[in-house]
A and B are shown apart, each in its own frame.
Chain A
Amino acid sequence: MSAAISVKRSSAWVLAVVLAVAARTASASPEEAKQWLERMSESLATRNYIGLFTHSTPTQSESMRIVHRVEDGHSLERLVSLDGSGREIIRTREEVHAYLPDRRVVLVEPRSDDGSLLKALPTPGAKLDTFYDLEVRKGSKLLGRDVQVVDIRPRDRYRYGYRIWLDEKTAMPLRSIVANGAGVPVEQISFTSLELQKKIPDKDVEPSVDATGFQWIRTGRKLGPPPQPMANANGWRPLRLPPGFRLVASRFQLLPGSPVPAQHLIFSDGMAAISVFIEPGHASGPAPPESSSMGSANAYSTSIQGHVITAVGEVPADTIREVAISVAPVDAPGAPSASGAPDR
Protein backbone atom coordinates (compact mmCIF):
# COMPACT_ATOMS: atom_id res chain seq x y z
CA MET A 1 0.00 0.00 0.00
CA SER A 2 2.69 2.46 1.06
CA ALA A 3 4.75 1.40 -1.94
CA ALA A 4 1.80 2.21 -4.19
CA ILE A 5 1.43 5.62 -2.54
CA SER A 6 5.15 6.21 -2.96
CA VAL A 7 4.94 5.37 -6.69
CA LYS A 8 1.94 7.68 -7.07
CA ARG A 9 3.79 10.47 -5.28
CA SER A 10 6.84 9.91 -7.48
CA SER A 11 4.68 9.99 -10.58
CA ALA A 12 3.04 13.18 -9.39
CA TRP A 13 6.44 14.76 -8.85
CA VAL A 14 7.67 13.69 -12.26
CA LEU A 15 4.47 15.03 -13.85
CA ALA A 16 4.79 18.30 -11.93
CA VAL A 17 8.39 18.70 -13.01
CA VAL A 18 7.52 17.89 -16.63
CA LEU A 19 4.63 20.38 -16.59
CA ALA A 20 6.80 23.03 -14.96
CA VAL A 21 9.54 22.53 -17.53
CA ALA A 22 6.99 22.54 -20.35
CA ALA A 23 5.37 25.70 -19.02
CA ARG A 24 8.74 27.35 -18.63
CA THR A 25 9.76 26.34 -22.14
CA ALA A 26 6.51 27.67 -23.59
CA SER A 27 6.75 30.99 -21.77
CA ALA A 28 10.44 31.35 -22.63
CA SER A 29 9.69 31.37 -26.33
CA PRO A 30 8.20 34.91 -26.50
CA GLU A 31 11.00 36.21 -24.31
CA GLU A 32 13.58 34.55 -26.49
CA ALA A 33 11.88 35.98 -29.59
CA LYS A 34 11.98 39.45 -28.04
CA GLN A 35 15.68 39.01 -27.30
CA TRP A 36 16.31 38.07 -30.92
CA LEU A 37 14.39 41.14 -32.10
CA GLU A 38 16.39 43.35 -29.75
CA ARG A 39 19.62 41.82 -31.04
CA MET A 40 18.40 42.44 -34.58
CA SER A 41 17.65 46.10 -33.86
CA GLU A 42 21.08 46.53 -32.33
CA SER A 43 22.81 44.84 -35.27
CA LEU A 44 20.94 46.92 -37.83
CA ALA A 45 21.90 50.10 -36.03
CA THR A 46 25.52 49.36 -35.15
CA ARG A 47 27.06 47.21 -37.89
CA ASN A 48 28.71 48.13 -41.17
CA TYR A 49 27.22 46.16 -44.02
CA ILE A 50 26.67 46.08 -47.76
CA GLY A 51 23.93 43.94 -49.22
CA LEU A 52 21.87 43.19 -52.27
CA PHE A 53 18.25 42.26 -51.77
CA THR A 54 15.06 41.70 -53.66
CA HIS A 55 12.00 43.65 -52.58
CA SER A 56 8.85 41.86 -53.72
CA THR A 57 5.20 42.71 -53.53
CA PRO A 58 2.37 40.66 -55.08
CA THR A 59 2.66 42.78 -58.24
CA GLN A 60 6.36 43.50 -58.70
CA SER A 61 9.88 42.66 -57.67
CA GLU A 62 12.86 45.03 -57.60
CA SER A 63 16.50 44.57 -56.76
CA MET A 64 18.11 47.02 -54.35
CA ARG A 65 21.54 47.63 -52.93
CA ILE A 66 21.95 48.80 -49.36
CA VAL A 67 25.03 50.24 -47.67
CA HIS A 68 25.09 50.96 -43.94
CA ARG A 69 28.07 52.57 -42.23
CA VAL A 70 28.43 53.58 -38.61
CA GLU A 71 30.69 56.55 -37.99
CA ASP A 72 31.29 58.01 -34.52
CA GLY A 73 28.02 56.54 -33.34
CA HIS A 74 26.04 57.95 -36.28
CA SER A 75 24.67 55.71 -38.98
CA LEU A 76 24.95 56.59 -42.67
CA GLU A 77 22.77 54.68 -45.05
CA ARG A 78 22.37 54.43 -48.81
CA LEU A 79 19.66 52.52 -50.66
CA VAL A 80 19.92 52.30 -54.43
CA SER A 81 17.32 50.92 -56.82
CA LEU A 82 18.87 48.67 -59.45
CA ASP A 83 15.86 48.94 -61.74
CA GLY A 84 17.49 51.58 -63.95
CA SER A 85 15.46 54.54 -62.64
CA GLY A 86 18.56 55.83 -60.84
CA ARG A 87 16.49 56.44 -57.72
CA GLU A 88 18.37 56.35 -54.44
CA ILE A 89 18.03 57.48 -50.86
CA ILE A 90 20.94 58.58 -48.71
CA ARG A 91 20.81 59.22 -45.00
CA THR A 92 23.69 61.42 -43.91
CA ARG A 93 24.47 62.67 -40.42
CA GLU A 94 22.19 65.66 -40.81
CA GLU A 95 19.68 64.90 -43.56
CA VAL A 96 17.87 62.33 -45.64
CA HIS A 97 18.15 62.87 -49.41
CA ALA A 98 15.78 61.07 -51.78
CA TYR A 99 17.07 61.34 -55.36
CA LEU A 100 14.29 60.90 -57.93
CA PRO A 101 16.06 61.45 -61.30
CA ASP A 102 12.96 60.54 -63.28
CA ARG A 103 11.24 63.53 -61.61
CA ARG A 104 14.44 65.63 -61.57
CA VAL A 105 13.76 66.14 -57.89
CA VAL A 106 15.71 65.68 -54.67
CA LEU A 107 13.64 65.59 -51.49
CA VAL A 108 15.61 66.71 -48.43
CA GLU A 109 14.53 66.15 -44.88
CA PRO A 110 16.52 66.84 -41.70
CA ARG A 111 17.28 63.73 -39.70
CA SER A 112 15.07 63.38 -36.71
CA ASP A 113 16.96 60.89 -34.59
CA ASP A 114 18.62 63.52 -32.47
CA GLY A 115 17.92 64.25 -28.83
CA SER A 116 14.49 63.37 -27.58
CA LEU A 117 13.23 62.20 -30.96
CA LEU A 118 15.60 59.26 -30.81
CA LYS A 119 13.22 57.77 -28.29
CA ALA A 120 10.48 57.88 -30.92
CA LEU A 121 12.03 55.12 -33.00
CA PRO A 122 9.98 51.97 -32.54
CA THR A 123 11.83 49.26 -30.71
CA PRO A 124 10.43 45.93 -29.57
CA GLY A 125 9.36 47.00 -26.12
CA ALA A 126 8.42 45.02 -23.06
CA LYS A 127 4.74 45.09 -24.02
CA LEU A 128 5.22 43.80 -27.56
CA ASP A 129 3.71 40.43 -26.67
CA THR A 130 0.54 42.16 -25.50
CA PHE A 131 -0.38 42.84 -29.13
CA TYR A 132 1.55 40.10 -30.93
CA ASP A 133 2.17 36.39 -30.38
CA LEU A 134 5.92 35.83 -30.58
CA GLU A 135 7.73 32.63 -31.45
CA VAL A 136 11.25 31.70 -32.44
CA ARG A 137 12.57 28.47 -33.89
CA LYS A 138 15.52 27.10 -35.79
CA GLY A 139 15.26 27.52 -39.57
CA SER A 140 16.94 26.15 -42.67
CA LYS A 141 20.17 27.78 -43.78
CA LEU A 142 20.08 30.99 -45.81
CA LEU A 143 23.11 32.37 -47.68
CA GLY A 144 25.05 29.52 -46.11
CA ARG A 145 24.32 30.78 -42.59
CA ASP A 146 22.43 29.17 -39.72
CA VAL A 147 19.23 31.06 -39.02
CA GLN A 148 16.58 31.58 -36.38
CA VAL A 149 13.06 32.27 -37.61
CA VAL A 150 11.01 34.72 -35.57
CA ASP A 151 7.23 34.82 -36.06
CA ILE A 152 5.36 37.92 -34.92
CA ARG A 153 1.62 37.31 -35.21
CA PRO A 154 -0.80 40.15 -34.51
CA ARG A 155 -3.60 39.48 -32.06
CA ASP A 156 -6.02 41.58 -34.07
CA ARG A 157 -6.59 42.75 -37.64
CA TYR A 158 -5.30 46.26 -37.12
CA ARG A 159 -1.64 45.39 -37.73
CA TYR A 160 0.53 43.19 -39.89
CA GLY A 161 2.26 39.92 -39.08
CA TYR A 162 5.94 39.33 -39.68
CA ARG A 163 8.26 36.40 -40.23
CA ILE A 164 11.94 37.25 -39.98
CA TRP A 165 14.90 34.99 -40.73
CA LEU A 166 17.88 36.07 -38.60
CA ASP A 167 21.51 35.09 -38.99
CA GLU A 168 22.29 33.14 -35.81
CA LYS A 169 25.73 34.65 -35.49
CA THR A 170 24.95 38.33 -36.01
CA ALA A 171 21.13 38.58 -35.71
CA MET A 172 21.08 40.39 -39.07
CA PRO A 173 17.80 39.83 -40.94
CA LEU A 174 18.42 37.83 -44.11
CA ARG A 175 14.81 37.57 -45.15
CA SER A 176 11.52 39.02 -43.97
CA ILE A 177 7.90 38.66 -44.90
CA VAL A 178 5.08 40.98 -43.96
CA ALA A 179 1.59 39.46 -44.09
CA ASN A 180 -1.86 40.99 -43.79
CA GLY A 181 -4.62 39.97 -41.40
CA ALA A 182 -5.66 37.08 -43.62
CA GLY A 183 -2.11 35.73 -43.52
CA VAL A 184 -1.43 36.73 -47.11
CA PRO A 185 2.07 38.13 -47.64
CA VAL A 186 2.08 41.72 -48.86
CA GLU A 187 5.82 42.23 -48.98
CA GLN A 188 9.01 40.24 -48.89
CA ILE A 189 12.65 41.28 -48.61
CA SER A 190 15.25 38.62 -49.39
CA PHE A 191 18.97 39.23 -49.30
CA THR A 192 20.98 37.64 -52.08
CA SER A 193 24.24 38.83 -50.57
CA LEU A 194 25.15 40.42 -47.27
CA GLU A 195 28.68 41.42 -46.31
CA LEU A 196 29.56 42.66 -42.86
CA GLN A 197 32.61 44.89 -43.13
CA LYS A 198 34.94 46.61 -40.70
CA LYS A 199 35.23 49.73 -42.86
CA ILE A 200 33.13 51.03 -45.72
CA PRO A 201 34.75 53.55 -48.06
CA ASP A 202 33.24 57.01 -48.53
CA LYS A 203 32.39 56.39 -52.17
CA ASP A 204 29.95 53.66 -51.15
CA VAL A 205 27.78 56.09 -49.18
CA GLU A 206 27.92 58.90 -51.73
CA PRO A 207 25.22 59.43 -54.37
CA SER A 208 25.86 58.22 -57.88
CA VAL A 209 23.26 60.64 -59.27
CA ASP A 210 24.35 63.89 -60.90
CA ALA A 211 21.70 66.18 -59.45
CA THR A 212 22.77 69.26 -61.37
CA GLY A 213 19.66 71.19 -62.40
CA PHE A 214 17.37 69.13 -60.16
CA GLN A 215 14.78 70.81 -57.98
CA TRP A 216 15.79 70.48 -54.32
CA ILE A 217 12.78 70.39 -52.04
CA ARG A 218 13.41 70.70 -48.34
CA THR A 219 10.42 68.89 -46.95
CA GLY A 220 11.01 68.98 -43.26
CA ARG A 221 12.61 72.33 -42.47
CA LYS A 222 12.86 72.77 -38.74
CA LEU A 223 10.34 75.34 -37.68
CA GLY A 224 9.63 77.62 -34.80
CA PRO A 225 6.21 78.14 -33.31
CA PRO A 226 3.40 77.29 -35.70
CA PRO A 227 1.94 80.21 -37.68
CA GLN A 228 -1.68 81.30 -37.42
CA PRO A 229 -3.46 78.80 -39.69
CA MET A 230 -2.29 75.94 -37.51
CA ALA A 231 -2.58 77.75 -34.21
CA ASN A 232 -5.04 75.22 -32.84
CA ALA A 233 -3.36 72.22 -34.45
CA ASN A 234 -2.01 70.99 -31.15
CA GLY A 235 -5.53 69.89 -30.43
CA TRP A 236 -5.89 67.65 -33.49
CA ARG A 237 -5.81 63.97 -32.71
CA PRO A 238 -7.11 60.70 -34.13
CA LEU A 239 -10.02 59.63 -31.97
CA ARG A 240 -9.63 56.00 -32.99
CA LEU A 241 -6.32 54.18 -32.76
CA PRO A 242 -5.60 50.44 -32.65
CA PRO A 243 -4.91 49.19 -29.12
CA GLY A 244 -1.32 49.69 -28.07
CA PHE A 245 -0.49 52.59 -30.39
CA ARG A 246 0.67 55.61 -28.42
CA LEU A 247 1.84 59.07 -29.43
CA VAL A 248 5.65 59.02 -29.49
CA ALA A 249 6.43 62.33 -31.21
CA SER A 250 4.87 65.46 -32.64
CA ARG A 251 6.35 68.21 -34.80
CA PHE A 252 5.60 70.81 -37.44
CA GLN A 253 7.15 70.56 -40.87
CA LEU A 254 6.82 71.65 -44.48
CA LEU A 255 5.72 69.16 -47.10
CA PRO A 256 6.19 69.33 -50.88
CA GLY A 257 3.67 71.58 -52.59
CA SER A 258 2.51 73.33 -49.43
CA PRO A 259 3.83 76.67 -48.14
CA VAL A 260 2.13 76.16 -44.79
CA PRO A 261 3.60 73.76 -42.26
CA ALA A 262 1.80 70.56 -41.39
CA GLN A 263 1.49 69.01 -37.98
CA HIS A 264 3.05 65.56 -37.93
CA LEU A 265 1.96 63.14 -35.20
CA ILE A 266 3.72 59.77 -34.85
CA PHE A 267 2.20 56.76 -33.12
CA SER A 268 3.81 53.37 -32.51
CA ASP A 269 2.99 50.00 -30.97
CA GLY A 270 6.68 49.07 -30.70
CA MET A 271 6.71 47.25 -34.02
CA ALA A 272 4.90 49.43 -36.55
CA ALA A 273 4.51 53.19 -36.80
CA ILE A 274 1.67 55.41 -38.05
CA SER A 275 2.20 59.03 -39.07
CA VAL A 276 -0.68 61.49 -39.21
CA PHE A 277 -0.20 64.77 -41.10
CA ILE A 278 -2.64 67.64 -40.57
CA GLU A 279 -2.50 70.52 -43.07
CA PRO A 280 -4.70 73.52 -43.79
CA GLY A 281 -7.04 72.70 -46.69
CA HIS A 282 -6.46 73.78 -50.24
CA ALA A 283 -8.17 76.95 -51.51
CA SER A 284 -9.81 74.94 -54.27
CA GLY A 285 -11.88 73.06 -51.74
CA PRO A 286 -11.69 69.56 -50.30
CA ALA A 287 -10.00 66.96 -52.45
CA PRO A 288 -11.68 63.54 -52.74
CA PRO A 289 -10.29 60.89 -50.44
CA GLU A 290 -7.29 59.00 -51.84
CA SER A 291 -5.58 55.85 -50.77
CA SER A 292 -2.31 54.41 -51.97
CA SER A 293 -0.21 51.38 -51.22
CA MET A 294 3.56 50.86 -51.38
CA GLY A 295 4.50 47.36 -50.24
CA SER A 296 3.61 47.13 -46.58
CA ALA A 297 3.10 50.89 -46.26
CA ASN A 298 -0.32 52.40 -46.85
CA ALA A 299 -1.50 55.99 -47.06
CA TYR A 300 -4.92 57.60 -46.91
CA SER A 301 -5.80 61.28 -47.38
CA THR A 302 -9.11 62.93 -46.70
CA SER A 303 -10.51 66.37 -45.86
CA ILE A 304 -11.91 67.08 -42.44
CA GLN A 305 -13.20 70.48 -41.35
CA GLY A 306 -11.17 72.39 -43.92
CA HIS A 307 -7.96 70.45 -43.29
CA VAL A 308 -6.22 67.78 -45.32
CA ILE A 309 -5.57 64.75 -43.13
CA THR A 310 -3.11 62.11 -44.32
CA ALA A 311 -2.21 58.95 -42.44
CA VAL A 312 0.79 56.81 -43.48
CA GLY A 313 2.08 53.65 -41.88
CA GLU A 314 3.16 50.02 -42.04
CA VAL A 315 -0.29 48.76 -41.10
CA PRO A 316 -3.20 47.45 -43.22
CA ALA A 317 -5.05 49.92 -45.46
CA ASP A 318 -8.25 49.64 -43.42
CA THR A 319 -6.40 50.59 -40.24
CA ILE A 320 -4.79 53.60 -41.92
CA ARG A 321 -8.16 54.77 -43.21
CA GLU A 322 -9.82 54.32 -39.83
CA VAL A 323 -7.11 56.40 -38.16
CA ALA A 324 -7.27 59.14 -40.83
CA ILE A 325 -11.05 59.62 -40.78
CA SER A 326 -11.16 59.75 -37.01
CA VAL A 327 -8.86 62.79 -36.78
CA ALA A 328 -10.58 65.78 -35.20
CA PRO A 329 -9.76 69.00 -33.37
CA VAL A 330 -10.49 67.57 -29.96
CA ASP A 331 -11.04 70.95 -28.30
CA ALA A 332 -13.37 72.27 -30.97
CA PRO A 333 -17.13 72.14 -30.43
CA GLY A 334 -18.88 69.67 -32.67
CA ALA A 335 -15.86 67.44 -33.08
CA PRO A 336 -16.76 64.38 -35.10
CA SER A 337 -17.63 61.16 -33.41
CA ALA A 338 -15.30 58.21 -33.32
CA SER A 339 -16.35 57.17 -36.80
CA GLY A 340 -15.13 60.48 -38.21
CA ALA A 341 -16.85 62.93 -40.54
CA PRO A 342 -14.88 63.49 -43.71
CA ASP A 343 -15.85 66.37 -45.99
CA ARG A 344 -17.84 65.31 -49.00
Chain B
Amino acid sequence: MTDQIREQVSALLDGELPRDEIGLLVRRMERDPDLRGSFGRYSLIGETLRAPGGRTAHPSFAARVSAAIDAPGEAAAAQDVPAIAASHAFWKRPAFATAVAASFALLAVILVRPFASEDAAIVVANTAATLTVSPLAGAISPTPAQSQRLAGYLVAHSQFSSPMARRSVWSGLLAADPGLQRASYEIQEAP
Protein backbone atom coordinates (compact mmCIF):
# COMPACT_ATOMS: atom_id res chain seq x y z
CA MET B 1 0.00 0.00 0.00
CA THR B 2 1.52 3.31 -1.05
CA ASP B 3 1.70 6.46 1.02
CA GLN B 4 -0.82 8.09 -1.26
CA ILE B 5 -3.35 5.35 -0.62
CA ARG B 6 -2.68 5.47 3.12
CA GLU B 7 -3.24 9.19 3.01
CA GLN B 8 -6.52 8.68 1.19
CA VAL B 9 -7.66 6.15 3.79
CA SER B 10 -6.72 8.55 6.52
CA ALA B 11 -8.54 11.42 4.81
CA LEU B 12 -11.59 9.21 4.37
CA LEU B 13 -11.66 8.40 8.07
CA ASP B 14 -11.30 12.10 8.85
CA GLY B 15 -14.16 12.93 6.51
CA GLU B 16 -11.82 14.99 4.35
CA LEU B 17 -11.58 12.89 1.19
CA PRO B 18 -13.15 14.60 -1.83
CA ARG B 19 -16.33 12.92 -3.03
CA ASP B 20 -14.91 11.88 -6.40
CA GLU B 21 -11.99 10.16 -4.71
CA ILE B 22 -14.23 8.19 -2.33
CA GLY B 23 -15.67 6.17 -5.18
CA LEU B 24 -12.24 5.36 -6.56
CA LEU B 25 -10.93 4.35 -3.17
CA VAL B 26 -13.92 2.12 -2.44
CA ARG B 27 -13.57 0.38 -5.80
CA ARG B 28 -9.90 -0.14 -5.04
CA MET B 29 -10.87 -1.51 -1.63
CA GLU B 30 -13.20 -4.03 -3.24
CA ARG B 31 -10.24 -5.38 -5.24
CA ASP B 32 -7.46 -5.13 -2.68
CA PRO B 33 -7.77 -7.32 0.45
CA ASP B 34 -4.78 -5.63 2.13
CA LEU B 35 -6.38 -2.24 1.72
CA ARG B 36 -9.67 -3.55 3.09
CA GLY B 37 -7.85 -5.00 6.06
CA SER B 38 -6.03 -1.75 6.73
CA PHE B 39 -9.22 0.26 6.44
CA GLY B 40 -10.99 -2.04 8.87
CA ARG B 41 -8.13 -1.88 11.37
CA TYR B 42 -7.77 1.90 11.15
CA SER B 43 -11.47 2.53 11.57
CA LEU B 44 -11.71 0.09 14.48
CA ILE B 45 -8.68 1.57 16.17
CA GLY B 46 -9.95 5.10 15.69
CA GLU B 47 -13.36 4.05 16.98
CA THR B 48 -11.85 2.41 20.04
CA LEU B 49 -9.73 5.40 20.88
CA ARG B 50 -12.50 7.92 20.30
CA ALA B 51 -14.96 6.00 22.43
CA PRO B 52 -15.21 7.64 25.82
CA GLY B 53 -14.58 5.47 28.83
CA GLY B 54 -12.60 2.83 26.97
CA ARG B 55 -9.49 1.32 28.47
CA THR B 56 -6.41 3.25 27.51
CA ALA B 57 -2.70 2.72 27.74
CA HIS B 58 -0.52 4.33 30.40
CA PRO B 59 0.13 8.04 29.69
CA SER B 60 3.81 7.35 29.13
CA PHE B 61 3.03 4.77 26.52
CA ALA B 62 2.39 7.29 23.72
CA ALA B 63 5.70 8.95 24.50
CA ARG B 64 7.49 5.60 24.30
CA VAL B 65 5.79 4.88 20.97
CA SER B 66 6.86 8.30 19.64
CA ALA B 67 10.39 7.71 20.83
CA ALA B 68 10.45 4.31 19.18
CA ILE B 69 9.21 5.77 15.91
CA ASP B 70 11.72 8.62 16.04
CA ALA B 71 14.65 6.33 16.78
CA PRO B 72 16.55 6.07 13.46
CA GLY B 73 17.75 2.53 13.98
CA GLU B 74 14.33 1.18 14.76
CA ALA B 75 12.70 3.17 11.99
CA ALA B 76 15.08 1.67 9.48
CA ALA B 77 14.34 -1.78 10.78
CA ALA B 78 10.65 -1.46 10.12
CA GLN B 79 9.59 -1.75 6.50
CA ASP B 80 6.79 0.76 6.45
CA VAL B 81 7.87 3.34 8.96
CA PRO B 82 10.52 5.19 6.90
CA ALA B 83 8.11 5.80 4.07
CA ILE B 84 5.48 6.99 6.48
CA ALA B 85 7.85 9.24 8.34
CA ALA B 86 8.98 10.81 5.06
CA SER B 87 5.53 12.21 4.48
CA HIS B 88 5.29 15.01 6.98
CA ALA B 89 1.89 16.21 5.82
CA PHE B 90 0.61 12.70 6.17
CA TRP B 91 1.65 12.61 9.80
CA LYS B 92 -0.43 15.68 10.42
CA ARG B 93 -3.57 13.76 9.69
CA PRO B 94 -5.02 13.01 13.09
CA ALA B 95 -6.70 9.72 12.18
CA PHE B 96 -3.55 8.25 10.72
CA ALA B 97 -1.33 9.43 13.53
CA THR B 98 -3.83 7.99 15.97
CA ALA B 99 -4.08 4.77 14.01
CA VAL B 100 -0.34 4.15 13.88
CA ALA B 101 0.11 4.92 17.55
CA ALA B 102 -2.78 2.67 18.32
CA SER B 103 -1.33 -0.12 16.18
CA PHE B 104 1.64 -0.20 18.51
CA ALA B 105 -0.68 -0.04 21.43
CA LEU B 106 -2.58 -2.99 20.08
CA LEU B 107 0.57 -5.07 19.89
CA ALA B 108 1.64 -4.19 23.38
CA VAL B 109 -1.41 -3.95 25.49
CA ILE B 110 -4.94 -4.14 24.75
CA LEU B 111 -7.64 -3.35 23.54
CA VAL B 112 -9.61 -4.16 20.51
CA ARG B 113 -12.92 -3.85 22.20
CA PRO B 114 -15.46 -2.43 19.83
CA PHE B 115 -17.57 -1.21 22.69
CA ALA B 116 -16.59 1.23 25.34
CA SER B 117 -17.69 1.01 28.94
CA GLU B 118 -19.71 4.22 28.83
CA ASP B 119 -21.82 2.68 26.12
CA ALA B 120 -22.83 -0.04 28.53
CA ALA B 121 -24.98 2.53 30.29
CA ILE B 122 -27.90 1.64 28.05
CA VAL B 123 -29.60 -0.37 30.71
CA VAL B 124 -33.14 -1.51 31.12
CA ALA B 125 -35.34 0.89 32.99
CA ASN B 126 -36.92 -1.90 35.02
CA THR B 127 -34.72 -4.87 35.75
CA ALA B 128 -37.38 -7.26 37.00
CA ALA B 129 -36.73 -10.58 35.27
CA THR B 130 -39.23 -13.37 34.98
CA LEU B 131 -37.22 -16.07 33.32
CA THR B 132 -33.62 -17.02 32.87
CA VAL B 133 -32.54 -19.44 30.20
CA SER B 134 -29.19 -21.16 30.08
CA PRO B 135 -28.03 -22.57 26.76
CA LEU B 136 -26.06 -25.73 27.37
CA ALA B 137 -24.77 -26.64 23.96
CA GLY B 138 -21.93 -25.01 22.04
CA ALA B 139 -21.96 -23.34 18.65
CA ILE B 140 -21.42 -25.41 15.53
CA SER B 141 -20.74 -24.35 11.96
CA PRO B 142 -23.91 -24.30 9.91
CA THR B 143 -24.18 -26.52 6.85
CA PRO B 144 -24.74 -24.73 3.51
CA ALA B 145 -28.40 -25.75 3.63
CA GLN B 146 -28.83 -24.37 7.16
CA SER B 147 -26.99 -21.22 6.20
CA GLN B 148 -29.22 -20.76 3.17
CA ARG B 149 -32.36 -21.25 5.19
CA LEU B 150 -31.22 -18.74 7.80
CA ALA B 151 -30.41 -16.26 5.06
CA GLY B 152 -33.90 -16.78 3.67
CA TYR B 153 -35.49 -16.14 7.06
CA LEU B 154 -33.39 -13.02 7.54
CA VAL B 155 -34.17 -11.55 4.12
CA ALA B 156 -37.88 -12.26 4.59
CA HIS B 157 -37.82 -10.77 8.08
CA SER B 158 -35.86 -7.69 7.02
CA GLN B 159 -38.74 -6.62 4.79
CA PHE B 160 -40.65 -5.76 7.92
CA SER B 161 -37.85 -4.17 9.91
CA SER B 162 -37.38 -0.44 10.29
CA PRO B 163 -34.74 1.05 7.93
CA MET B 164 -32.18 1.03 10.71
CA ALA B 165 -32.96 -2.51 11.82
CA ARG B 166 -32.94 -3.66 8.20
CA ARG B 167 -29.43 -2.29 7.81
CA SER B 168 -28.45 -4.13 10.95
CA VAL B 169 -30.01 -7.44 9.81
CA TRP B 170 -28.43 -7.16 6.37
CA SER B 171 -25.04 -6.33 7.86
CA GLY B 172 -25.28 -9.41 10.05
CA LEU B 173 -26.15 -11.49 7.02
CA LEU B 174 -23.29 -10.10 4.91
CA ALA B 175 -20.71 -10.18 7.68
CA ALA B 176 -20.45 -13.92 8.13
CA ASP B 177 -22.35 -17.14 8.40
CA PRO B 178 -24.07 -17.12 11.75
CA GLY B 179 -23.03 -19.80 14.19
CA LEU B 180 -25.68 -22.26 15.15
CA GLN B 181 -26.29 -23.63 18.59
CA ARG B 182 -27.98 -26.93 19.11
CA ALA B 183 -30.16 -25.71 21.87
CA SER B 184 -30.77 -27.60 25.03
CA TYR B 185 -32.17 -25.32 27.66
CA GLU B 186 -32.78 -25.25 31.34
CA ILE B 187 -35.55 -22.92 32.31
CA GLN B 188 -35.39 -21.39 35.75
CA GLU B 189 -37.89 -19.09 37.29
CA ALA B 190 -36.14 -16.06 38.68
CA PRO B 191 -36.54 -15.48 42.40
Contacts and interface: CB of A to CB of B under 8 A. Distances in A.
A290 interface: yes
A109 B149 CA distance: 13
B175 A62 contact: yes
Interface in A309-344: 310, 312-314, 317-318, 321-322, 339
Given A290-B183, A318-B131, A189 B155 contact: no
Residue among B114, B146, B157, B174 having the largest count of chain A Cβ atoms under 10 Å? B174
A255 B165 CA distance: 21
Given A52-B26, A121-B160, A273 B123 contact: no
B12 A193 contact: yes
A81 B165 CA distance: 17
A44 B161 CA distance: 13
Interface in A173-202: 173, 176-179, 181-185, 187-190, 192-193, 195, 197
The number of chain B residues touching the other chain, given as a range, is: 35 or more
A204 B22 CA distance: 12
A65 B25 CA distance: 12
Contact of A294 (B30, B121, B130, B173): B173
Contacts, number: 294
B153 A56 contact: no
B120 A96 contact: no
Contacts of B157: 266, 273, 275, 297, 312-313
A296 B168 contact: yes
Interface stretch (B38-46, B75-83, B102-110): B38-46
A161 B165 contact: no
Contact of B131 (A264, A277, A322): A322
A318 B124 CA distance: 15
Interface stretch (A12-20, A98-106, A224-232): A98-106
Contacts of A339: 187
A300 interface: yes
B163 A183 contact: no
Interface in A49-104: 50, 52, 54-58, 60-66, 79-85, 87-89, 96, 98, 100, 103
Interface string A128-165: 00001100000000011000000101111100011110
Contact of A185 (B120, B125, B131, B133): B120
Contacts of A109: 152, 155-156, 159
Contacts of B59: none
A111 interface: yes
Residue among B131, B135, B173 having the largest count of chain A Cβ atoms under 10 Å? B173
A321 B126 contact: no
Contacts of B175: 55, 57, 60, 62, 81, 83, 294-295
B101 interface: no
B15 A144 contact: yes
B154 interface: yes
Contacts of A35: none
A257 interface: yes
B12 A192 contact: yes
A58 B36 contact: no
A181 B125 CA distance: 9
A234 interface: no
Given A54-B47, A297-B168, A291 B123 contact: no
A170 interface: no
Interface of B: 12-13, 15, 17, 19, 22-23, 26, 29-30, 33, 36, 39-40, 43-44, 47, 114-115, 119-133, 135, 142, 144-165, 167-176, 178-185, 187
Given A64-B171, A195-B22, A220-B156, 9 more contacts: A57-B172, A58-B114, A83-B175, A85-B174, A133-B125, A153-B123, A161-B124, A255-B149, A296-B168
Give the 3 A-B CB pairs with smallest separation, nearest first: A294-B172, A56-B114, A183-B123
7 contacts: A62-B175, A96-B159, A103-B148, A153-B122, A156-B126, A188-B114, A277-B153
Interface of A: 40-41, 44-45, 50, 52, 54-58, 60-66, 79-85, 87-89, 96, 98, 100, 103, 105, 107, 109, 111-113, 117, 120-123, 132-133, 143-144, 151, 153-157, 161-164, 173, 176-179, 181-185, 187-190, 192-193, 195, 197, 204, 208, 217, 219-220, 248-249, 253, 255-257, 264, 266, 268, 271-273, 275, 277, 288-297, 299-300, 302, 310, 312-314, 317-318, 321-322, 339
